[in-house]
């Protein structure tokens, strides 16, 4: 019986694999052909960056090209988002591919013929605008992917949804935006996406390389504010008042105890940073109140919830012990960017084909964050990095993302296109998730925090393991 079953599964696997014809050669030559065009698009976008929720020209640029390819196009999703739908000639899964579109309030300092000279108003002041995170390259690579795949329509199974998302770096104050709003407006639902993929160029990863991590990859980012209220007094007589600054200094110490004494650090890292303190007007006046604000980074959904609770308790109890009060508010900016292990395992050969096995590098988790994390509430997801650092450069000399000197070498944008296209042709619906549920995939499956090594030992694919990543390119 056991033998029969085994034979049956072997047969089943063969049949399934039979659907997947290796298209990598065809993808390679089609990509090489359009690469100069893709680089031109990227440079045009680089020269014309727009801030989050204001990507009007960028959206027009994308729409025009998608329509030119004969795709079904939807616009104004989550303000300025654009979605293109490509239906293959035979039925199959629905795959989402995502690129973010926004630039940053940074004034470019790189000496390039296509450097940005854009200026705009941001939070009431005049600022330069720059694609200082490389989202220009993401748009160009996804447009290139749409072009390659639309020409292979006759061989394509299923449907591809090209998602061009605004405001990854966060919407302007008081506005909604980004991936969370895209999800809220149903971008994952119609057609219902079975698996979603996204890439980020990385200025500290050499061109021609792909870096990935299974399971938790990038951190959840929360921003928080603590307002401490005491009682005003003369600076010479603190016993007549309640000093909110002294209380705050105790709270700051207490917050670090959450990291070092209360969080299970062998499970996942936790970071709590206070980035801002405001209070007081003069040396000899104890003020009535003060505020501080900071950010929390966690790489596990449960730990994120626990840290929130502990911050509230720590701040409130310390304040109470000194006769003050503390109001804590926490705003979640992104979730943990979690790469579904089964999906990662399935797609690694496709990534290896795209860059060569030796250029596919497993990396560590990063405390940077990405709003791509919201899509995994709806489908298994996989987000990875492609290299943008020139070959002759040292990692330490490569300017970080979000800085005026940020620079990427765009000669290897083919990597992203090849990776997306190979993924599309190789993807098979997964046993555990997409296959058994037409409705919402249970959250437990999506957010299951399984020790990665159980699923995916570093040696599994015989790829170099790099213990210390230099990931940046994150929003919050």
Where along the sequence are the contacts to Zn ion (CB under 5 A)?
A: 133, 473, 475
Strand boundaries in 257-376, DSSP class E: 270-279, 285-286, 289-298, 325-334, 337-339, 360-362
Helix (H/G/I), strand (E/B), else coil: 412: helix
Q: Which is nearer to Zn ion, 94 or 220 (CB)?
A: 220
What does the alpha-carbon distance between residue 63 and residue 67 come to, in Å, rounded to a whole number? 6
State both tokens at 431. 């046993």
What does the alpha-carbon distance between residue 291 and residue 3 come to, in Å, rounded to a whole number? 68
Please check whether residue 464 is in contact with residue 361, taking contact to mean a CB–CB distance below 8 angstroms: yes
Q: Which is nearer to Zn ion, 134 or 144 (CB)?
A: 134
**Torsion angle of the four alpha carbons 258, 300, 206, 398, in this order, in degrees rounded to the nearest 10:** -30
What does the alpha-carbon distance between residue 417 and residue 38 come to, in Å, rounded to a whole number? 10
Residue carrying the six token digits 């969370």:
180
Give the nearest distance from C-beta 100 to Zn ion in angstroms.
6
State both tokens at 433. 């998730």
Give the nearest distance from C-beta 168 to Zn ion in angstroms.
6
Q: Which is nearer to Zn ion, 149 or 475 (CB)?
A: 475
Q: Which is nearer to Zn ion, 138 or 227 (CB)?
A: 138
Give the nearest distance from C-beta 1 to Zn ion in angstroms.
53
Give the nearest distance from C-beta 107 to Zn ion in angstroms.
16
Q: Which is nearer to Zn ion, 131 or 412 (CB)?
A: 131
Give the nearest distance from C-beta 99 to Zn ion in angstroms.
10
Half-sphere exposure of 227 (CA within 13 A, CB side): 6
DSSP secondary-structure letter at 153? G
Q: Which is nearer to Zn ion, 48 or 337 (CB)?
A: 337
Q: Which is nearer to Zn ion, 165 or 263 (CB)?
A: 165
Q: Which is nearer to Zn ion, 204 or 346 (CB)?
A: 204
Please check whether residue 63 is in contact with residue 73, taking contact to mean a CB–CB distance below 8 angstroms: yes
Give the nearest distance from C-beta 127 to Zn ion in angstroms.
16
Note if the bond before 191 is cis, omega within 30 degrees.
yes
What does the alpha-carbon distance between residue 82 and residue 63 come to, in Å, rounded to a whole number? 7
Q: Which is nearer to Zn ion, 131 or 418 (CB)?
A: 131
Please report, for residues 12, 162, 401, the alpha-carbon distance to residue 191 in angstroms, rounded to integers and kept in the order given. Answer: 27, 12, 34
Please check whether residue 370 is in contact with residue 471, taking contact to mean a CB–CB distance below 8 angstroms: no
Give the nearest distance from C-beta 144 to Zn ion in angstroms.
18
Q: Which is nearer to Zn ion, 133 or 248 (CB)?
A: 133
Q: Which is nearer to Zn ion, 28 or 145 (CB)?
A: 145
What does the alpha-carbon distance between residue 270 and residue 250 come to, in Å, rounded to a whole number? 20
Q: Which is nearer to Zn ion, 242 or 475 (CB)?
A: 475
**What is the Cα Rg of the chain in Å?**
24
- The percent helix, strand, coil of the chain (3-state, each to 5) is 40, 25, 35
Give the nearest distance from C-beta 387 to Zn ion in angstroms.
15
DSSP secondary-structure letter at 439? S
CB closest to Zn ion, residue no: 133
Helix (H) / strand (E) element for 389: namely strand 381-389
What does the alpha-carbon distance between residue 106 and residue 117 come to, in Å, rounded to a whole number? 11
Give the nearest distance from C-beta 337 to Zn ion in angstroms.
12
Give the nearest distance from C-beta 169 to Zn ion in angstroms.
5
Give the nearest distance from C-beta 49 to Zn ion in angstroms.
12
Chain centroid offset of residue 416 CA: 15
Residue carrying the six token digits 């936790």:
270
What does the alpha-carbon distance between residue 97 and residue 220 come to, in Å, rounded to a whole number? 21
Give the nearest distance from C-beta 132 to Zn ion in angstroms.
7
């Amino acid at each position: 019986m056991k033998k029969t079953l085994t034979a049956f599964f072997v047969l089943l696997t063969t049949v399934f694999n039979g659907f997947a014809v290796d298209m990598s050669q065809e993808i390679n030559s089609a990509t090489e052909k359009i690469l100069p065009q893709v680089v031109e698009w990227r440079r045009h976008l680089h020269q014309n960056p727009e801030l989050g929720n204001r990507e009007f020209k960028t959206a027009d640029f994308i729409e025009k090209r998608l329509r030119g390819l004969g795709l079904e196009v939807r616009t104004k999703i989550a303000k300025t988002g654009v979605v293109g739908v490509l239906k293959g000639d035979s039925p199959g899964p629905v795959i989402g591919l995502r690129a973010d579109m926004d630039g940053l309030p940074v004034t470019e300092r790189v000496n390039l013929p296509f450097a940005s000279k854009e200026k705009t108003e941001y939070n009431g002041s005049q600022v330069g605008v720059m694609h200082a995170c490389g989202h220009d390259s993401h748009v160009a690579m996804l447009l290139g992917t749409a072009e390659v795949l639309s020409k292979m329509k006759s061989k394509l199974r299923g449907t591809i949804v090209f998602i061009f998302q605004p405001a990854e770096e966060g919407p302007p104050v008081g506005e909604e935006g980004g991936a969370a709003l895209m999800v809220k407006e149903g971008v994952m639902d119609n057609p219902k996406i079975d698996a979603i993929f996204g890439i980020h160029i990385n200025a500290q990863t050499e061109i021609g390389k792909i870096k990935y991590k299974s399971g938790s990859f990038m951190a959840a980012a929360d921003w928080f504010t603590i307002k401490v209220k005491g009682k005003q007094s003369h600076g010479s007589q603190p016993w007549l008042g309640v000093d909110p600054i002294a209380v705050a200094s105790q709270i700051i110490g207490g917050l670090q105890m959450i990291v070092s004494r209360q969080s299970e650090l062998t499970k996942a890292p936790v970071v709590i940073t206070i980035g801002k303190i405001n209070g007081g007007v003069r040396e000899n006046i104890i003020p009535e109140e003060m505020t501080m604000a900071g950010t929390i980074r966690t790489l596990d959904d449960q730990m994120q919830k626990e840290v929130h609770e502990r911050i509230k308790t720590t701040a409130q109890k310390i304040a109470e012990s000194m006769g003050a009060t503390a109001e804590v508010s926490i705003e979640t900016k992104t979730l943990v960017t979690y790469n579904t292990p089964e999906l990662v395992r399935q797609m690694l050969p496709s990534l290896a084909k795209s860059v060569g096995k030796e250029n596919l590098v497993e990396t560590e988790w990063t405390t940077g964050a990405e709003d791509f994390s919201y899509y995994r509430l709806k489908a298994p997801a996989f987000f990875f990095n492609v290299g943008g650092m020139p070959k002759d450069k040292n990692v330490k000399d490569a300017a970080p993302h979000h800085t005026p000197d940020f620079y990427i070498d765009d000669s290897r944008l083919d990597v992203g296109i090849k990776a997306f296209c190979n993924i599309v042709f190789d993807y098979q619906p997964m046993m555990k998730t997409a296959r058994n549920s037409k409705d919402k995939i249970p959250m437990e499956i999506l957010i299951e925090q399984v020790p990665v090594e159980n699923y995916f030992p570093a040696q599994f694919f015989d790829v170099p393991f790099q213990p210390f990543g230099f990931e940046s390119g994150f929003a919050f």
